[in-house]
Amino acid sequence: MDNYSDKASTFPDPFGLARETRGFGEVEDQNDPVLMLLRLKDVRKTARDWQSFRSGVTPGRIVVPSEVSIRQTRQIPFEMDPPEHTEYRALLESWFRRPQQPDYQIALAGLVSELIKSVVQKGTVEVVSELALRLQSQALTLLLNVPLAEAETWIGWGTHVFRSEGEALDSQKASILYDYIDQQIDKALQQPGEDLYSVLLASRAQGRTLTREEVSGVMILTFAGGRDTVINAITNSIAYLAEHPHQLERLRREPETAGKAVEELIRYFSPLTHMGRVAATDTEVCSHAVRADSRVSLCWASANRDASTFENPNEVVLDRALNPHVGFGFGHHNCLGATHARLVLKTLLTTLASRVSTMEIHEYEENNEDWGEFRRKVGFHRIQVKFNPLQQNN
Amino acid sequence: MAKITFITRENETITTEAAAGTIMELGVRQGVRGIDGDCGGVCSCATCHVHVAPEYMAIVGPPGDIESDMLELNDNVTEYSRLGCQVQITEDLDGLVLHVAR
């Protein structure tokens, strides 16, 4: 497959013209077309308006491409609307904020440090499989509070757990994850511990304990929502710093920049392109009629390049001070794993800055998504990078 | 130094002092419930939404355009709403009282 951008770290904005002229794009998907909303203000407004644009529809339908034909389990709290959503979300909020705790941060720093040490020792590695997948999986053990060894199982699934090679959805592949989660729930039922499965099985909502199906719905979301997105964010950030060594140098000199850098990299790379909603009634968005029970999508990736809010939207401005991006979504469905994801990226940036002098990209193959008229680069299928160690003075 | 008081949704009162930084940073440092500052202060997450006591609104000042856009769609926005990450602490704010928004 040919790479179409001029540099590994360039992620072009395919939506610019459509965003400015029409404000939307149209995508065909398994006979259930999607109107993609491209402007930041429309995206935010629609994300907020859960009465008109619903998430609690047939499981899999708000995902694009639709997963209706490959799963029945409702992902929780993602495929729900208020007031039901509010109760389930509140139940999960404190668990998913554990990354703010010092012991979690120390544990993650340890994992990242070991991984970076090992890639520096190897010299040249394929970043997607040898670093990003490993880091994503190992970090997830902290979020679930399960033994680090579990990560080896998840790493073994490879990067294509939910899709087979190519674009098609693959129900057989997805069942690997569902079967695994089923087994883990059985284990937690027999021997409750302090892991997320056990905590959920003991939790209450709607005046009763969560059902097995509900626990499964939360776990599937946790695995699926934070896999490709985190892997791409890690890989793309490394590509960026490899091609902008002065920015790595800057993170070394001014480590306090790392927080803003994470937000800016998330804005620029927008790991999740878009997310759907289903119109509750005949309505209108961006002066375009939307029929009841048809799909729209909130295109985070396009909104994050909207020049009416972002100056120089197609440039990475690592210390961008005002950065109201929607890379983690917007409104009450915003990313539950964002605290964890932010910490993973921030720890990666500071560890690279303290251990690596420069990185050189050897060869790579882009991962491009096709959405109707739009071809969007989201990351890499593979990218070979050489990590040059920082020579310590002492 | 400015003395600043946060009143949480649970009606807990936290009074503290600061000379610099933002209201969000101060709230996070003091562990004020409801001030999370998830995005670190770049005006992206609105997890530092406060209502300024009316008598201080003239001193704190109105939100900027980008901040207004963020607040506009919030269910709990009032004319006294600000995002703490966009309010710099100065001595002029001495005595300021802030209610953490829902």
Asked if A309 lies within 8 A of B40 by C-beta distance, the reply is no
Assign B73 a pLDDT band (cuts: 50, 70, 90).
confident
B2-100: CATH topology is Ubiquitin-like (UB roll) (3.10.20)
CB pairs under 8 A between A and B: 47
ipTM: 0.93
For the record, the structure tokens of A244 come out as: 């902008």
Residue ranges of domains in chain A, CATH in brackets: 16-389 (1.10.630.10)
**Chain A residue set in contact with B, beta carbons under 8 Å:** 41, 44-45, 48, 97, 259-260, 262-263, 309, 320-328, 331, 334, 338-339, 342
- Measured between beta carbons, the chain B residues lying within 8 angstroms of A85 are none
Give the Cβ contact number of residue A86 at 10 Å.
13
Asked if A48 lies within 8 A of B73 by C-beta distance, the reply is yes
- Beta strands per DSSP E along A192-345: 204-205, 208-209, 275-279, 283-285, 288-290, 295-298
Q: pLDDT under 50 in chain A at which residues?
A: 1, 164-166, 394
Asked if A259 lies within 8 A of B70 by C-beta distance, the reply is no
Read off the pLDDT of each residue in B34-59 and give the average, rounded to a whole number.
Answer: 95
Query: Could you tell me the residue ranges of all domains in chain B?
Result: 2-100
pLDDT in tens, A239-273: 999 999 999 999 999 999 999 999 999 999 999 99
Residue A166: what pLDDT? 47
CA–CA dist A5, A169 (Å, integer): 26
Read off the pLDDT of each residue in B20-46 and give the average, rounded to a whole number.
Answer: 95
Distance from CA of A41 to the nearest CA of B (A): 8
Residue B30: what pLDDT? 96
Q: Which residue has the tokens 């709990």?
A: B76
Read off the pLDDT of each residue in B4-31 and give the average, rounded to a whole number.
Answer: 97
Give yes or no for a contact between A231 and A132, defined as CB atoms under 8 angstroms apart: yes
Which amino acid belongs to residue A232?
N
Residue A165: what pLDDT? 46
Residue A174: what pLDDT? 72
Q: Which residues pair with B51 in a beta bridge?
A: B81, B99
pLDDT in tens, A129-175: 999 999 999 999 999 999 999 999 999 998 776 654 445 566 676 78
Residue A373: what pLDDT? 92
Asked if A324 lies within 8 A of B40 by C-beta distance, the reply is no
- Measured between beta carbons, the chain A residues lying within 8 angstroms of B38 are 338-339, 342
Asked if A324 lies within 8 A of B69 by C-beta distance, the reply is yes
Give yes or no for a contact between B81 and B100, defined as CB atoms under 8 angstroms apart: no
Residues 6 or more apart in contact with residue A262 via CB below 8 angstroms: A342, A345, A346, A349, B40
Q: Is the peptide bond before A77 cis (omega within 30 degrees of 0)?
A: yes
Residues in B 51-90 with any Cβ partner in A closer than 8 A: 64, 66, 69-70, 73
Interface check for B27 against chain A (CB to CB < 8 A): the answer is no
